[in-house]
Amino acid sequence: MIQRCYLEAALGERIGLSDAEWEIVGALLPAERGRGCRPAQDNRRYFEGMMWIARTGAQWRRLPNEYGKWNSVFRRYRRWTTSGVFDAMLEMLAEVVARDGRADMIDSTVVRAHHCAVGIKKELGTPRRSAAHAAASPPNSTPGAMPKDARSPSS
Protein backbone atom coordinates (compact mmCIF):
# COMPACT_ATOMS: atom_id res chain seq x y z
CA MET A 1 0.00 0.00 0.00
CA ILE A 2 2.79 2.40 0.91
CA GLN A 3 4.75 1.59 -2.25
CA ARG A 4 1.64 2.17 -4.38
CA CYS A 5 1.05 5.57 -2.79
CA TYR A 6 4.73 6.40 -3.25
CA LEU A 7 4.68 5.50 -6.95
CA GLU A 8 1.45 7.41 -7.58
CA ALA A 9 2.89 10.43 -5.80
CA ALA A 10 6.14 10.17 -7.75
CA LEU A 11 4.41 9.86 -11.10
CA GLY A 12 1.68 12.35 -10.31
CA GLU A 13 -1.04 10.57 -12.27
CA ARG A 14 -2.42 7.21 -13.29
CA ILE A 15 -0.59 5.63 -16.21
CA GLY A 16 -2.96 5.02 -19.06
CA LEU A 17 -4.11 5.91 -22.54
CA SER A 18 -6.60 8.52 -23.61
CA ASP A 19 -9.61 7.34 -25.61
CA ALA A 20 -8.08 8.75 -28.82
CA GLU A 21 -4.80 6.89 -28.19
CA TRP A 22 -6.67 3.69 -27.40
CA GLU A 23 -8.52 3.85 -30.73
CA ILE A 24 -5.16 3.61 -32.48
CA VAL A 25 -3.45 1.09 -30.20
CA GLY A 26 -6.49 -1.08 -29.49
CA ALA A 27 -6.93 -1.89 -33.16
CA LEU A 28 -3.35 -3.25 -33.27
CA LEU A 29 -3.84 -5.75 -30.44
CA PRO A 30 -5.24 -9.23 -31.06
CA ALA A 31 -8.69 -10.12 -29.76
CA GLU A 32 -8.39 -12.40 -26.75
CA ARG A 33 -10.53 -15.45 -26.24
CA GLY A 34 -11.51 -16.62 -22.80
CA ARG A 35 -9.80 -19.66 -21.36
CA GLY A 36 -12.23 -22.40 -20.44
CA CYS A 37 -15.51 -21.03 -19.14
CA ARG A 38 -14.15 -17.58 -18.20
CA PRO A 39 -14.46 -14.65 -20.61
CA ALA A 40 -11.32 -12.74 -21.59
CA GLN A 41 -10.56 -9.53 -19.72
CA ASP A 42 -10.29 -6.15 -21.40
CA ASN A 43 -7.16 -5.61 -23.53
CA ARG A 44 -7.02 -1.93 -22.56
CA ARG A 45 -6.76 -2.64 -18.85
CA TYR A 46 -4.04 -5.23 -19.40
CA PHE A 47 -2.12 -3.05 -21.86
CA GLU A 48 -2.17 -0.16 -19.39
CA GLY A 49 -0.83 -2.57 -16.76
CA MET A 50 2.03 -3.44 -19.10
CA MET A 51 2.71 0.27 -19.59
CA TRP A 52 2.71 0.74 -15.80
CA ILE A 53 5.36 -1.97 -15.42
CA ALA A 54 7.47 -0.45 -18.22
CA ARG A 55 7.24 3.07 -16.81
CA THR A 56 7.84 2.29 -13.14
CA GLY A 57 10.30 -0.58 -13.52
CA ALA A 58 8.53 -2.39 -10.68
CA GLN A 59 8.24 -6.14 -10.31
CA TRP A 60 5.20 -7.83 -11.82
CA ARG A 61 3.95 -8.76 -8.35
CA ARG A 62 3.74 -5.05 -7.48
CA LEU A 63 1.23 -4.33 -10.25
CA PRO A 64 -1.78 -2.49 -8.75
CA ASN A 65 -5.04 -4.45 -8.74
CA GLU A 66 -6.75 -1.86 -10.95
CA TYR A 67 -4.86 -3.36 -13.92
CA GLY A 68 -5.92 -6.94 -13.17
CA LYS A 69 -4.13 -9.88 -11.58
CA TRP A 70 -0.40 -9.49 -12.07
CA ASN A 71 0.03 -13.06 -13.30
CA SER A 72 -2.76 -12.70 -15.88
CA VAL A 73 -1.22 -9.46 -17.19
CA PHE A 74 2.23 -11.08 -17.27
CA ARG A 75 0.97 -14.15 -19.14
CA ARG A 76 -0.74 -11.99 -21.77
CA TYR A 77 2.44 -9.90 -22.07
CA ARG A 78 4.50 -13.07 -22.65
CA ARG A 79 1.96 -14.34 -25.23
CA TRP A 80 2.04 -11.05 -27.10
CA THR A 81 5.85 -10.88 -26.95
CA THR A 82 6.40 -14.39 -28.28
CA SER A 83 3.80 -13.96 -31.04
CA GLY A 84 5.35 -10.68 -32.22
CA VAL A 85 2.44 -8.36 -31.38
CA PHE A 86 4.71 -5.59 -30.09
CA ASP A 87 7.03 -5.80 -33.12
CA ALA A 88 4.06 -5.49 -35.47
CA MET A 89 2.69 -2.60 -33.39
CA LEU A 90 6.02 -0.76 -33.59
CA GLU A 91 6.17 -1.18 -37.37
CA MET A 92 2.60 0.06 -37.78
CA LEU A 93 3.14 3.06 -35.52
CA ALA A 94 6.36 3.89 -37.38
CA GLU A 95 4.40 3.94 -40.64
CA VAL A 96 1.77 6.22 -39.06
CA VAL A 97 4.47 8.58 -37.84
CA ALA A 98 6.11 8.62 -41.29
CA ARG A 99 2.79 9.68 -42.85
CA ASP A 100 1.91 12.25 -40.17
CA GLY A 101 4.40 15.11 -39.89
CA ARG A 102 3.04 16.18 -36.49
CA ALA A 103 4.04 12.99 -34.67
CA ASP A 104 7.48 11.99 -33.43
CA MET A 105 8.95 8.73 -32.21
CA ILE A 106 11.89 8.57 -29.85
CA ASP A 107 13.98 5.70 -28.62
CA SER A 108 17.12 5.19 -26.60
CA THR A 109 19.35 6.21 -29.52
CA VAL A 110 17.80 9.69 -29.44
CA VAL A 111 17.49 10.22 -25.70
CA ARG A 112 20.76 11.03 -23.94
CA ALA A 113 21.43 9.56 -20.53
CA HIS A 114 22.11 11.74 -17.53
CA HIS A 115 25.80 11.93 -16.62
CA CYS A 116 25.15 9.85 -13.48
CA ALA A 117 23.92 6.98 -15.65
CA VAL A 118 26.92 6.76 -17.97
CA GLY A 119 29.56 6.08 -15.34
CA ILE A 120 31.45 9.38 -15.30
CA LYS A 121 33.49 9.59 -12.12
CA LYS A 122 33.02 12.47 -9.73
CA GLU A 123 36.77 13.08 -9.64
CA LEU A 124 36.89 14.19 -13.28
CA GLY A 125 36.36 17.78 -12.28
CA THR A 126 39.32 17.82 -9.86
CA PRO A 127 42.70 18.93 -11.19
CA ARG A 128 45.49 16.38 -11.56
CA ARG A 129 48.66 16.44 -9.48
CA SER A 130 51.23 18.96 -10.56
CA ALA A 131 54.54 17.85 -12.12
CA ALA A 132 56.49 19.13 -9.10
CA HIS A 133 54.33 17.08 -6.75
CA ALA A 134 54.73 13.99 -8.95
CA ALA A 135 58.53 14.37 -9.07
CA ALA A 136 58.74 14.63 -5.29
CA SER A 137 56.61 11.55 -4.62
CA PRO A 138 58.07 8.03 -4.68
CA PRO A 139 57.46 5.82 -7.75
CA ASN A 140 54.24 3.82 -7.82
CA SER A 141 55.76 0.53 -9.06
CA THR A 142 58.12 -1.89 -7.33
CA PRO A 143 60.80 -2.52 -10.03
CA GLY A 144 62.62 0.68 -9.05
CA ALA A 145 62.90 -0.57 -5.46
CA MET A 146 64.52 -3.86 -6.50
CA PRO A 147 68.25 -4.11 -7.30
CA LYS A 148 68.84 -4.26 -11.05
CA ASP A 149 70.67 -7.60 -10.94
CA ALA A 150 67.76 -9.24 -9.00
CA ARG A 151 65.25 -8.46 -11.76
CA SER A 152 64.17 -11.06 -14.30
CA PRO A 153 65.40 -10.62 -17.88
CA SER A 154 61.92 -9.60 -19.12
CA SER A 155 61.92 -6.40 -16.98
The pLDDT of residue 12 is 47
> How far is Cα 14 from Cα 10, in angstroms, rounded to an integer?
11
C-beta pairs of 14-18 under 8 Å, 24+ apart in sequence: 15/48, 15/51, 15/52, 15/55, 15/56, 16/48, 16/51, 17/44, 17/47, 17/48, 17/51
The answer on pLDDT for 142 being more than 50 is: yes
The pLDDT of residue 75 is 93
Closest CA to 60 of 10, 9, 40, 68: 68
pTM above 0.85, yes or no: no
The pLDDT of residue 84 is 93
Structure confidence by residue, pLDDT tens digits, 100-115: 877 777 666 655 666 6
Indicate the average pLDDT of the chain: 75
The pLDDT of residue 77 is 95
Give the DSSP H or E segment for 151. none
The pLDDT of residue 9 is 38
